[in-house]
Amino acid sequence: GKSNARVYVQSTEGIHFDDVAGEDEAKENLAEIVDYLHNPKKYTDAGASMPKGLLLVGPPGTGKTMLAKAVAGESDVPFFSISGSEFVEMFVGMGASKVRDLFKQAKEKGEKLTMLTAYDYSTAKLEDAAGINGILVGDSLGNVVLGYDTTIPVTVEDMIHHGAAVARGAKNSLVVVDMPFLSYQTSVYDAVVNAGNIMKETQCDCVKLEGGKSVCPQIKAITDASIPVMAHIGLTPQSVNAFGGFKVQGKTLEAAQQLIEDAKAVEEAGAFAVVLECVPEKLARKVTEAIHIPTIGIGAGAGCDGQILVYADMLSMFSDFSPKFVRSFANVGEIMSQAFKDYDAAVKDSSFPAQEHT
């Protein structure tokens, strides 16, 4: 899974109580436990039951681990060791607080955060291996993968289907799954149920939803349900019909003030980061300075704490439209197109498959 925790089995090296100096009182108590393991009936007949665990308390270096190994040695069982934080990571997952810490620390240290979208396992694996901090399963999958004009038709089921594939491919990157149109706007209850289902079914780390003050009750309730939330303000594509098109936001004084208020409100409601889409660079800097959670910019200039791009845009794979703020990092679209033509020609002129492919 995604956990970095390791459980290792060490040889008990035949360590027994006699090998552990001092601690005679502790050894006596532990010897009874060991005897229970060897002769349970003797104890159950007397009405005793096995304790669920043992706590060895003492300052570092006083032989607690040796004693634990001796219990394993005396009982003739392997010794398993796992640290407290590894235990939490393995059995509880990254956890809401760790997600928040990861992004908070980056902002505090002034380290830029990188995010890209992905919608499938193989792309997520490549982004993860490249060290991208966060992978967004954006509802832009409506445009890029499903061929819709807008993100409006995307469903919770679509997000779960693609979100689960991405989560399977991402070992270290934070996986964020978008909540699609009308999966949270309708009520706080719907928001929590849908966020919960998305998280349960995809095994993602957190969800993202669009909007400022108006969706703060939803952000608070989802966060209270231990599901970290990334907010998204500025140009919010699910509201394209209300905006009357995909336009830069926050251009008037009033709109700029509203954006700063929205950023403060989503932070207050519990969001651990906020996407700023298509807002003037100066305003994005102001927002970034006004809040303590990281801002992730897209078409919002260099002053944000991190950047996100739609991966198909930065690889020039999506040709329906290309926003002005996108930089092409590789012309993968052209490479694919040439490869498809070469394959077509090779099959037709019988040069593929050759002997070595048979």
CA distance 195 to 290: 28
DSSP secondary structure code for residue 145 in this structure: T
277 catalytic residue (yes or no): yes
Does the footprint of ligand KIV cover residue 158 (CB under 6 A)? Answer: no
Does the footprint of ligand KIV cover residue 203 (CB under 6 A)? Answer: no
Does the footprint of ligand KIV cover residue 124 (CB under 6 A)? Answer: no
Does the footprint of ligand KIV cover residue 215 (CB under 6 A)? Answer: no
12, 114, 117, 203: which one binds ligand KIV (CB under 6 A): 117
Candidate ranges 31-39, 70-78, 89-97, 132-140; the one touching ligand KIV (CB under 6 A): 132-140
Q: Residue 280 or residue 297: which is nearer to ligand KIV going by CB?
A: 297
Q: In the range 222-261, which residues lie near ligand KIV by CB under 6 A?
A: 232
CA distance 133 to 173: 5
Candidate ranges 30-38, 50-58, 137-145, 316-324; the one touching ligand KIV (CB under 6 A): 137-145
Candidate ranges 55-63, 67-75, 134-142, 211-219; the one touching ligand KIV (CB under 6 A): 134-142
Least distance (Å) between residue 196 CB and ligand KIV: 21
Query: Using CB atoms within 10 A of its CB, is residue 115 exposed (0-12), middle (13-18) or buried (19+)?
Result: buried
- The alpha helices in the chain, defined as continuous H runs, are 24-38, 40-45, 64-75, 84-92, 95-109, 121-129, 141-144, 156-169, 188-202, 216-224, 240-243, 253-269, 281-290, 311-314, 332-348
DSSP secondary structure code for residue 58 in this structure: -
Q: Which SS3 state, helix, strand or coil, does residue 244 take?
A: coil
Least distance (Å) between residue 237 CB and ligand KIV: 7
Does the footprint of ligand KIV cover residue 128 (CB under 6 A)? Answer: no
Does the footprint of ligand KIV cover residue 140 (CB under 6 A)? Answer: yes
Least distance (Å) between residue 156 CB and ligand KIV: 15
Three-state SS string across 167-219, please?
Answer: HHHCCCCEEEEECCCCCCCCCHHHHHHHHHHHHHHHCCCEEEEEECHHHHHHH
Catalytic residue among 74, 268, 277, 356: 277
Q: In the range 275-334, which residues lie near ligand KIV by CB under 6 A?
A: 275, 277, 298, 308, 310
Specify the pairing of strand 229-234 against strand 206-210.
parallel
Phi-psi region at 58: left, alpha or beta (left = phi > 0; alpha = psi -120 to 50): left
Q: List residues with catalytic annotation.
A: 277
List residues near ligand KIV by CB under 6 A. Answer: 117, 136, 138-140, 178, 232, 275, 277, 298, 308, 310
